[in-house]
Structure 1
Amino acid sequence: MKKPNAKIYFFAAITAIFAACSQNEPNEVDAKAESHQFQIINVTHDGKPFSTGLSKSSSTGKYVDNPGGGVMMQAFYWDVPAGGNWWNTVSTKVTDWSNAGIGSIWLPPASKAQNGAFSMGYDPTDYFDFGDYNQNGSIETRFGSKTELVNLITKAHTENMKVYADIVINHNSGGQSEANPFTGTNTWTNFTGVASGKFPRNYNDFYKNSYGNNDEGSFGGFPDLCHAAPNVQNWLWLRADGVGKYYKNTMKFDGWRFDYVKGFGAWVVNSWNANVGGFSVGELWDSNVNVLNDWANNANSSVFDFACYYKMNDAFDGNNLALLNDDMMWKRNPYKAVTFVTNHDTDEIYSKLLAYSYILTHEGYPTIFYRDYEEWLDKSKLNNLIWIHNNKATGTTSILYSDNDEYLARRNGYNGNPGLVVYINNSDTWQERWIQTNWANTQIKDFTGNSTWYPTTQADKWVKIQCPPKGYSVWSINQ
């Protein structure tokens, strides 16, 4: 597991002390000629402006999400401490997260799984046991009791935060053995005795069965749920007391992170969303943006932007920022793209702050990883980027310049919000560039504080900005 490099940040800070910072921009002919090398690439989305971010409510001091915007916290990591305290741990964080501008939290699978108090929830047995039945060796789940979960959701809602449930509906685990006429063997597919008494199922509800030998994909040898079976559809998303509607209407979850959506058809999520509602995002682990976009459209759901994730890894760790010109889900449809730097399954990007500076200034729905925020990275820097996202990152995107070491992009602003210019520098020295902004004859500043320049744009909106080594700067109107 990669750790942030403290030496980079120390070096950048020392370099900043000695940087010569002028407040008056040059207007020489040769400087303007230098600027002509920039190729502006407009990233458009059917002409629709994208307003991303949360607006601060003056009456409550909390953050309320706007259409198409927000910041999500993945509120767990793999193998969080066992012992039933995780829901309480997260509860102690949500007020600070809300005040920082985080508008939603994504929780791990909340119901009882085969490994009971030791399970991370991805081997589900009883979808209605939230830690209140003596089942699979424990009453509580790894994360705590049902009461503690309800208290967490309630507290998050008082902070104007949404709560998303991780839903594992591809496979089940922990059933009893039964004779299976479709396989001619015994299979572990008898879930008629689950402690909650809800969603009883047997071999008819798993592949292979009368509907066929398989669907899109099985996982890990677990019994593979058959979503074509009426009993499965009824209990997952059709019944008023089924999984989806119970989670939404009784437990008060606001949305869904669907696990391993490669394992079943996109129509399943589409039907769930049509019948249950709420925000949804699918884990479709594929770097092909066409695959991501097709699934998102067919499922009527957001999808994690793995195309962006792998491009960032190659760009920032491979010293080729020009790769950020390539296609990504957020460029195809920012309203259905959930961007991220790491998660509980994969942690490949080393230059994490550069990656966060990218997703928190660009379109899409950015996700912060718990350990990055609480343990591994500089929380004040992340809070600053979250503030920038919520207050400045509006409008469509124009990529202004990119090469191996430098990347500059402009958010074009929307509905009175001025937008921003982000400058990412992956080299070992300070860099400067002339760029065209959204603003004429206007003083701007770097809202990260990494640069102390306060330049004024020219009448034609051009200005020279700078960026620290292995760092970033984010420029907007000085107001």
Structure 2
Amino acid sequence: MIKRTIFFPLLAVLLILGSCSKDDESPTPEPEPKIETPQPTALDLNDFDNGAGVMMQAFYWDVEPRHEWWDILSEKVEGWADAGINRMWLPVATKGQSGGYSMGYDVSDYFDFGDLYQHGTTETRFGSREELENLIDVSHQHGVEVIADIVINHNSGGGEEYNPYRGENTYTLFDEDHGNASGMFNRDYENFYPNSTSNWYDNSLFYPETNLDHHQEYVQNWLWKNENSVAKYYMNVMGFDGWRFDYVKGFEPWVIKEWLDEVGGFSVGENWDGYSPNLEAWVEETGSGAFDFATFYKLDEAFDRHDDLTIFNDEMLWKTHPDKAVTFTANHDTEKDSNEDNYISYDNKMKAYSFILTHPGYPTIFYSDYENEEFKEKLNKLMLIHNTIATGEVEVLYVDNDEYVMKRSGNATNPGLILYINTGINAKRRSVESNWNSNFVMDYSENTNYIAKTDETGSVMLEGPANGYAVYSIMEDGE
């Protein structure tokens, strides 16, 4: 149930009727009483619930202060839940080679959640195991699922040993004394490519000498099959609810399919590919959701690189697989490497959010964006819109270089919406065909005070604020 409430200002339309005599010598008539027409008011969007939700990416690269992150998030969960967040994606929660400085992607011990001393620290960068368990409990109390970031292709931080299959020393020895203090899922060079059962390897991958061989039964047992496997331990012992698979190009799609067949849970993969057909093929093979990099790059191109909103006509994952498309405008990598190819500019960020929070797909909010005071309330309004009236079929009503008008049709009990993005320097107005007949309409994002009324056929003149967006829907009839 959406708990966030936003109150909109009272909007009135007044009709004053009066009369006067044409005969100067006639007695002055009593003035006619003023008649006020009923005043249309904003819908209470909390009356609608389309069953959607929003995921929070609850970290950025090199979060600070170190060792306090789990406690910081525990204080924020209730507010996020009230705003419409139903899942929280955490950073890699186990010990990495960089110890107390590690963001977790140099994974060393899959079962050290900040309770074992190794790599120079007991706590992870984010805190202790006890603090993590408390964060998961608090999240569940507020109806928020917790998504684990899982790195299952490359390992880091093992001991040095001679690897006969590479003819050189590699850091592939993981045991109680070498980067795996838990003693669970010990590994050596035989568990990585190449080995005695496979001479395949790809040196273009991250950490190629420690790229796990998922064809080995031993590796499969420890990652997802055994009762004390990584997957089952994370879910049954730690209480995680789902998975964000890191760098899925480092292993084959069947790995995720088998993982999900074994343990289930929400799943999204980082298949960093802007070509939508490749994403479509991957989600069909795995059964997992995928970050919609195709949409991310179209947003970047449309707003920043080409200044051309007709790019939104191109292929994107949400158009073909809306239930598998996890949309986003920023993440820890794109913000860390802010450049024109992997970055949506600050000035265009909210327009990009207006797109993903009104279109199909499962949107992700980036922590640093939400904590930006200039963005927070705007994002709260968009999340409320997303979780309530962003429903029904999509129809693009108009698009050119600097205008994009899109309709969600709604249904018998939900009015739907119309999104108007305008990248021009001046406000613009455009007549479009809505599904609403003889209704007053307003902008529920509150970026413009413009109010219009649809005619008996649904035609309406809407306004797109200068270099901004508006999200229109109907108003309540006055009583």
AA aligned opposite 2:186? P
Partners of 1:436 and 1:371 lie apart in 2 by 37
Residues 353-392 of structure 1 mapped to structure 2, 5 A cutoff: 353-375=350-372, 377-392=374-389
Structure 2, unaligned runs of 5 or more: 1-10, 15-44, 336-342
- The answer for the alignment partner of 1:7 in structure 2 is none
Q: Report the counterpart of residue 339 of structure 1 in structure 2.
A: 327
- Which of 175, 178, 196 is the matching residue for 2:182? 196
Distance 1:87 1:430 in 2: 44
Write out per-residue CA displacement over residues 230-249 of structure 1, whole angstroms, 9 at most, x where no aligned residue: 11100111011110011011
- Note the 1:150-299 alignment, pairs <5 A: 150-193=133-176, 194-209=180-195, 210-214=197-201, 218-221=205-208, 223-299=210-286
2:429 corresponds to 1:432: yes
CA distance in 2, matches of 1:395, 1:112: 44
Higher RCO, Cα 8 Å, sep 6+: 1
Q: Could you give the per-residue CA deviations for residues 154-200 of structure 1, whole angstroms, max 9, x where no partner exists?
A: 10111101110110011000111122232232221111322111111
Residues 84 and 117 in structure 1, CA contact (< 8 A), matched pair in contact too: yes
Letter in 1 for 2:194: K
The one-letter amino acid of 2:148's match is A
Mapped contact 2:90–2:146 kept (Cα < 8 A): yes
Partner of 1:396: 393
- Report runs of 4+ in structure 1 exceeding 6 Å deviation: 21-24
CA distance in structure 1 between the aligned counterparts of 2:453 and 2:49, rounded to whole angstroms:
33
Paired residue total: 422
**Residue number among 434, 457, 461 corresponding to 1:460 in the alignment:** 457
Tell me how large the CA RMSD over aligned residues is.
Answer: 2.0
SS at match of 2:392: coil
Question: Using the alignment, how far apart are the partners of 1:282 and 1:358 within structure 2?
Answer: 21
- Secondary structure of the 1:335 match is coil
Deviates more, 1:72-81 or 1:186-195: 186-195
Conserved? CA contact 2:249–2:271, under 8 Å: yes
- Conservation of the 8 A alpha-carbon contact between 2:154 and 2:210: yes
How many angstroms apart in 1 are the aligned matches of 2:278 and 2:12?
48
How has the CA–CA distance of structure 1 residues 214 and 23 changed in structure 2, closer, same or farther, with 3 Å as cutoff? Answer: farther
Alpha-carbon contact 2:307-2:401 (below 8 Å) kept: yes
Residue 470 and residue 22 in structure 1: after superposition, are their counterparts in 2 closer, same or farther (change >3 A)? farther
Instruction: Decide whether the 8 Å contact of 1:330 with 1:337 is kept in 2.
Output: yes
1:472 counterpart residue number: 469
- The TM-score normalised by the length of structure 2 is 0.85
User: Is 1:320 the equivalent of 2:308?
Assistant: yes
**Structure 1 position 101, deviation (Å):** 0.9
Write the mapping of 1:61-100 to structure 2, written as runs, cut at 5 A: 66=51, 69-100=52-83
Q: TM-score, normalised by structure 1?
A: 0.85
Larger radius of gyration: 2
1:64/1:269 CA distance change after superposition, 3 Å: farther
SS state at 2:436 partner: coil
Counterpart in 2 of 1:131? 114
Rounded to whole Å, the distance in 1 between the matches of 2:311 and 2:74 is 39
Aligned match of 1:445: 442
Letter in 2 for 1:186: N
SS for the counterpart of 2:280 is helix
Give CA-to-partner distance per residue, 1:300-337, whole Å, 9 cap, x none.
10000111001101111232011111110011111000
Larger deviation, residues 100-109 vs 80-89: 80-89
Flag the 1:247–1:467 CA change in 2: closer, same or farther, 3 A: same
Code of the aligned partner of 1:262: K
Paired-residue identity, %: 50
| Local SS of the residue matching 1:92 | helix
Q: Which moved more, 1:420-429 or 1:452-461?
A: 452-461
